[in-house]
Amino acid sequence: MNKATRLLGLIVASVLGLSTLSFAQTGPSLITEAFDEGQVAELEVSYQWQDTGNSGITDPKIGLQLFDAQGRWQVTQDDLGLTLGMQTTVLSISDSLTLPNSLVDHSLALGFNIGQIDDWKVSTVLGIGYNGRSPYGDGNAKYGKANLIFSKEASDTSMWQVIVDYDGNRSFLPDVPLPSVSYSDWSNEQFQWTLGFPYSSFTWQPTDKFELEASAVLIYNIHVTGSYELNENFELFASYVNRTDAFRGDNDDPSTRRVIFTQQTVELGVNWEPCNEFNLSIAAGYAFDQEFEFGFDTQNTTKITDVSDEPFVRFAAEFKF
């Protein structure tokens, strides 16, 4: 995987609260992403299983199972907008000689609006997390999260947003607050876009049945999802995901303190939405460029082992209340 591409992608995911999987409800999106009309809570879960395959010399066979969950609840529907969020990632690893059986990342956060500075709305998200080899077994595996968010409506259909993000488990510069700036416009119902540094994106819906979403970090890291509505309840989709996860190891040596997992996937699947409150997805795909590395962050890493390119199946569900 190209190092510059990975680092730029990590900046986007951490600063803007965007996740390669969309599981980021303890970052800025906890408070900046609107709930659907009439709903105040949502929960998403995803389970990915891939076959055991060939890898490196130290791990001739390795199997992976990935579980992700996120949820949020808007406690108050007033100007404070008090919102609770949670996020969990679990990597279950089998047949490895060099890696633990499981790696866990779990975080909780609280988001709310602080007030106004001239025309700028000021919000914050504060959280705490744990990431390590087993749930809550390592006192040094705790980390903090904090976001300061400034939003300004340029018009009824456009907005400026400036975010300062601190994430103690970020895969890139976890000990440094990082800034971002963006401008979004949704004046056209068929085409909404965001232009910023380092992140830009668009959503294009030329017909009632087809939608295309794309996001990019400059010209390097591009994510695309296309979906087609078959009928009122079923939708076909194709997607590409680039993910990076970091977990604390068993020692305090900066060069080997954290285990960093990277993976890219392409998949085809179907969504079933029998009602507005529930959505079920089933997908099959191919995982590639998979590897585990040691390092404090992704700037300087040492390879632990590769994981071979393998097919996978994934199941996901979304609940809204």
Question: What's the confidence (pLDDT) of residue 154?
Answer: 93
Sign of the Cα pseudo-torsion (157, 163, 168, 169, in order): positive
Q: How many domains, in total, are found in the chain? A: 1
- Tell me which residues of the chain have a pLDDT lower than 50: 1-23, 219-220
Query: What sections of 185-306 are H helices per DSSP?
Result: none
The secondary element (H helix, E strand) that includes residue 214 is strand 210-217
pLDDT one-digit tens code per residue, 73-129: 999 999 999 999 999 999 998 877 778 888 999 999 999 999 999 999 999 999 999
- pLDDT for position 125: 96
| The predicted structure's pLDDT at residue 318 | 96
Round to whole Å and give the CA distance between 247 and 259: 5
List the structure tokens of 204. 């294009």
DSSP state of 138: -
For 3-39, how does the pLDDT look when each residue is reduced to its tens digit (9 = 90+)?
Answer: 443 433 433 433 433 333 334 678 888 988 889 888 9
Q: Which pLDDT does position 122 carry in this prediction?
A: 97
The CA distance from 66 to 265, in Å, is 13
Residue 300's CB is within 10 A of a number of other CB atoms, namely 11
pLDDT, residue 255, reads 58
Residue 21 belongs to what domain range? 3-320
- Asked whether 40 and 74 are in contact (CB, 8 A), the reply is yes
